[in-house]
Structure 1
Amino acid sequence: MTVRDTSKSDESTADRNEADASEDDVGANDSDGLDTRAIHSGRENPNDALVTPIYANATYEYDSSTRLGGEYRYSRMDAPTRNDLEAVVADFEGGTHASAFASGMAAIDAVFSLLESGDHVVAGKSLYAETYDLLADVYPKYGVSVSHVDVTDPDAVRDAIREDTALVYVETPTNPLLRIVDIAAVADAAHAADALLAVDNTFASPALQRPLELGADLSVESLTKYVGGHSDAIGGSVATRDADLAAEISRTQYTRGAILGPFESFLVRRGAKTLQARMDRHCRNTRAVATTLDSHEAVDTVHYPGFESHPGHEVAARQMADFGGMVAFELAGGVDAATSFVAGLETITIAESLGGVESLVEVPAAMTHQDFTKAELKDAGIDPGLVRLSVGIEREDDLVADVRRGLDGIL
């Protein structure tokens, strides 16, 4: 990996962030006008179009053999609908550059494509299943080594960093246990070793958390989830404030060809306009659902960073505007109880994915993480009976009633 100069002043990232926000604030980005910018940001559209047009073009006309007719040449390299979305994502993330990809995994792969043979990665133990697979099965073939550690402990990250460490890669909140990583502290640890920090921000979305503003070098989103928000388009993005990193990511985008098409770009851009409004509802509904779960005798453990009892609550309150739309929990009856709970739901849909307007439920060990071995599940802390809820924006009372229906059915 070609690593930029990550040298810092004596003032740590954590110190800078503390100076920027009062202790009474919940998160650093709750009053920055994202709800307005989400509607109006982006590139200027031609012909005074209120909505970004869909440019379904593969190629563009030259004026001559040596001169382009306009800004665009070939849509794998640059395309106007996609470029508008990328400008919006960069704005959302507090970055200066963003690249949109055909999926969240393509975006994550673009980050890992920065690595070179002999590089070492420090990554979380609890990761999205396919991210784990890339690091466990694909990149080691190219000479990349990986250490999986508890990234919620900055000291564990520091201890795992080696002379050849080029990248620290974390999710926060993590999938599926909603553990919280102190981004500023981990950024300081990575930069002290001239390594990069990349953060998968999908579970929070840029409406609630902006890793680049907390010291990360790269912020990854699965645009399929909260940014798009309607379960009708698959996409991903990588944002940064570093022009050299942006150029490398962009080159990977057009050389490997995993670009986001114009129709998907249009759908994600349309969904992004309501991101802040939807996240407000997601968060409110999730608090109500988590409280219902926590008070029910059938529930053993609730993983929700909005609870003061959650081990990452203090960090989450500091670096997030709210606690998100996800909750995970374990039932006293184990996997059989989890199966019965899911089967008893009527409003909430059994499906993988998250972040859409509809509420979804899954059992990670049997669904999203089904390819994990028992040892890998145990190492990631995923109990076979763990249930993960992506709480949508339906009426709060309807969701609470459905959760109670599922819980009462297993007693």
Structure 2
Amino acid sequence: MDQVKSNHDEGPGINTRSIHHGESFASETGTVMPPIFPSATFAHGNLHGFDYTRSGNPNFRILESVLSSVESCKYVTVLASGVSAITAIVSTLEKGDLVLCEENLYGCTVRLFEEVFRRFDIKTVWVDFTDEKNFSKIIDLKPKMIWLESPTNPMLKVIDIAAICDYAIKVKAPVVVDNTFATPLFQRPLELGATLSLCSTTKYINGHSDALGGAICSEDATWKKKLDFAQKALGLQPSPFDCWLITRGIKTMPLRVERQSKNAFAIAQQLLNHPGIEWVRYPFLSSHPQYEIALKQMKAGGSIITLKINATQNQTYEICKSLNYFTMAESLGGIESLVCHPASMTHAYIDRDTKLKLGIDDGLIRLSIGCEDLKDLTDDLMQALETLKK
């Protein structure tokens, strides 16, 4: 089957919506690309109601407008990073509130809940949401919020978002979905029933590894008001320059992400047959444990591949460092390919027993596939994996 399904909605297509951002706040100049508005303060009584950049800036609104169009949602709040987006959402909770979390979340999300928010008596319970028997915990525990990520980092678990939202409605719990890996091109959490869809715009949205940002999408005006308040009150605002870079980057996102996803699918299929690899995890491989769910709620499998080899940390490092076109680094989603060792990088501070329970051991490798030529990437991976024979 074709790995990338149709992504055409009624009205303008996704490529068109990514390119045309609407208001540029510079109509008198005729500029095609909106300028950067680096001003920290604005004269009182201006036409657009700006006063102080911590509470709003033309570059924020431009980026929010195009993200709203791409996500097909009413409201977007842009923030300084993905972690800022997490912080903004959690800031709406109260002392003693319980958050029911998928057990395999982004490492910094876990750190925030366990080492920061816990000090303010925000409670967390961690469950495996790929096990349907755990859905009943939503009814039993009646959490104030449910926190999901799909696909998860780094195990690429695919969560049945719609099914969990059906349970959440019964206890009136908002559902938050970190959609960073899938992007709004391949998955629409709000359409599946989620309350909030957040992402790190640092990753695929910008796509060039040169700007930090985060965004939260919703259909609820009350949530928009809460999140804008958090942006201003907690100082979670992005910089105008980063918003400008991300606005520029999003224009090529459909082209980049489709190429990356096609590369990743082909590479994942090839790695399946390598004798030195124990298993390969990719959402659109039929061997994926939640393959049917991935087909149901995603338009493509994305560009992250996780694989497991039987090796020590030093041996795994040797493979990662011997790659020519994959830089060993954290982050993902840029046009360049990256390789990450989650146990010692993104999830380094999580205790060993917890990591092993989740499957994050010394032989786990996460690949972020870029836009390079497919043959160059596959040749590079094959030569690096030759070290396993030694």
Task: Return the TM-score normalized by structure 2.
Answer: 0.94
- What is the alpha-carbon distance in structure 2 between the residues aligned to residue 27 and residue 199 of structure 1? 22
SS of 1:141's partner is helix
Is residue 2:35 matched to residue 1:53?
yes
Is residue 2:16 matched to residue 1:39?
no
**What is the letter of the counterpart of residue 7 of structure 2?**
D
Partner of 2:341: 363
Partner of 1:30: 7
Identity %: 37
- Cα distance, 1:143 vs. partner? 2.0
Partner of 1:270: 248
Change over 3 Å in CA distance of 1:139–1:344 after alignment to 2: same
1:310-329 equivalences under 5 Å are: 310-329=288-307
Partner of 1:345: 323
- What is the alpha-carbon distance in structure 2 between the residues aligned to residue 163 and residue 320 of structure 1? 29
- What is the alpha-carbon distance in structure 2 between the residues aligned to residue 261 and residue 155 of structure 1? 44
SS of 1:392's partner is coil
8 Å Cα contact 1:127/1:174 also seen in 2: yes
**What is the letter of the counterpart of residue 352 of structure 1?**
E
SS of 2:377's partner is helix
- Cα distance, 1:207 vs. partner? 1.2
- Cα distance, 1:155 vs. partner? 3.5
Comparing 238-247 with 327-336, greater Cα deviation is found at 327-336
Is residue 2:99 matched to residue 1:121?
yes
- What is the alpha-carbon distance in structure 1 between the residues aligned to residue 350 and residue 114 of structure 2? 11
Q: For residues 221-261 of structure 1, give each alpha carbon's deviation from its aligned partner in whole angstroms, at most 9, with x where no partner exists.
A: 00000000000001101110000011101100111111011
Task: Return the TM-score normalized by structure 1.
Answer: 0.90
Change over 3 Å in CA distance of 1:289–1:175 after alignment to 2: same
- What is the alpha-carbon distance in structure 1 between the residues aligned to residue 148 and residue 25 of structure 2? 36
Q: For residues 108-137 of structure 1, give each alpha carbon's deviation from its aligned partner in whole angstroms, at most 9, with x where no partner exists.
A: 111111211121111011111110011112
Partner of 2:360: 382
- The alignment of Structure 1 onto Structure 2 pairs a total of residues equal to 384
Is residue 2:54 matched to residue 1:95?
no
- Cα distance, 1:299 vs. partner? 0.5
Runs in 1 of length 4+ with deviation above 6 angstroms? 24-29
* Structural RMSD (CA): 1.8
- Cα distance, 1:157 vs. partner? 3.0
8 Å Cα contact 2:272/2:280 also seen in 1: yes
- Cα distance, 1:336 vs. partner? 4.3
SS of 1:239's partner is strand
SS of 1:302's partner is strand
Comparing 209-218 with 376-385, greater Cα deviation is found at 376-385
Partner of 1:332: 310
1:6-405 equivalences under 5 Å are: 30-32=7-9, 33-47=13-27, 48-62=30-44, 67-68=45-46, 70-162=48-140, 164-405=142-383
- Cα distance, 1:163 vs. partner? 5.1
- Structure 1: 5+ residue stretches without partners: 1-23
- Cα distance, 1:44 vs. partner? 4.6
- What is the alpha-carbon distance in structure 2 between the residues aligned to residue 227 and residue 163 of structure 1? 35
Change over 3 Å in CA distance of 1:54–1:225 after alignment to 2: same
